[in-house]
Amino acid sequence: MPDAQVKDRARILSSIRIALGASATPEAIAAEYGSIARTYTQAGSSDQAAMLELFADRLLEYDAGVYYAPESAIADRIAEILTKREKHGLAIPDRVPSAWLPQGFDFKVSDDYDAYQLDKTEGVLTGCTVAIAETGSIVLQNAAAQGPRILSLVPDYHLCVVLANQVVATVPESFARLSATSTLPTTFISGPSATADIEMTRIKGVHGPRFLDVLLVTT
């Protein structure tokens, strides 16, 4: 953020604190936030099978591809998906498990790639931190097997491996999972990138991949 914007932000926040007086202390703000009644549903009651079914259903509604594999067959399934997509290799973040990577494809660790280099790749393969069944969302963080945010924003194709135990029912449950890593850059993805202009013309790939495949790893 430019220095001028930092100064403007500090000045605005200072004015707000002065106007609010003593109630603007961090302790007072935290206490007020903690006192808010949270009567909404915070946890789901479905079993894992039902959660996975709902998650897959939401992904399909968003026009994402959904595939399944046991943990022992992740690499084989990824090979099938890439062959179907006519991909010869993908960019990967650091610390993607070697057991995920099938032979015969070119996988390059791309954490240091810039936007131009990523745009030239055939796509990206990542894991995730958590996934939300209710919204069909995948949450990525700058962590092992996920990498910096740019990896999931620039490539035209994204293949994401989601483990069954990473799927939770609700958004509040996902935030509970994320609490320990809340300071990391975080991206929520709900299907392939799509937006519409004022004439309601749907355009894919404006702020992320046009094509998203999700491999659900069952036990």
What is residue 20's DSSP assignment? H
- Beta pairing class for 137-141 and 186-189: antiparallel
Residues 120 and 85 sit within 8 Å (Cβ to Cβ): no
Q: Using CA atoms, how far apart are residues 219 and 216, in angstroms rounded to an integer?
A: 10
CB 82 within 8 A of CB 105: yes
User: 93-148 pLDDT, tens per residue?
Assistant: 999 999 999 999 999 999 999 999 999 999 999 999 999 999 999 999 999 999 99
| Global pTM exceeds 0.85 | no
Which residue ranges form the domains of the chain, and what is each CATH number? Answer: 3-34 (no CATH), 48-218 (3.40.50.10420)
Instruction: Please give the helix or strand (H or E) that residue 83 lies within, else none.
Output: helix 74-84
CA atoms within 13 A on the CB side of 20: 13
Owner of token pair 């939300």: 132
pLDDT in tens, 19-47: 776 566 777 778 888 888 888 778 887 88
d(CA 214, CA 205): 17
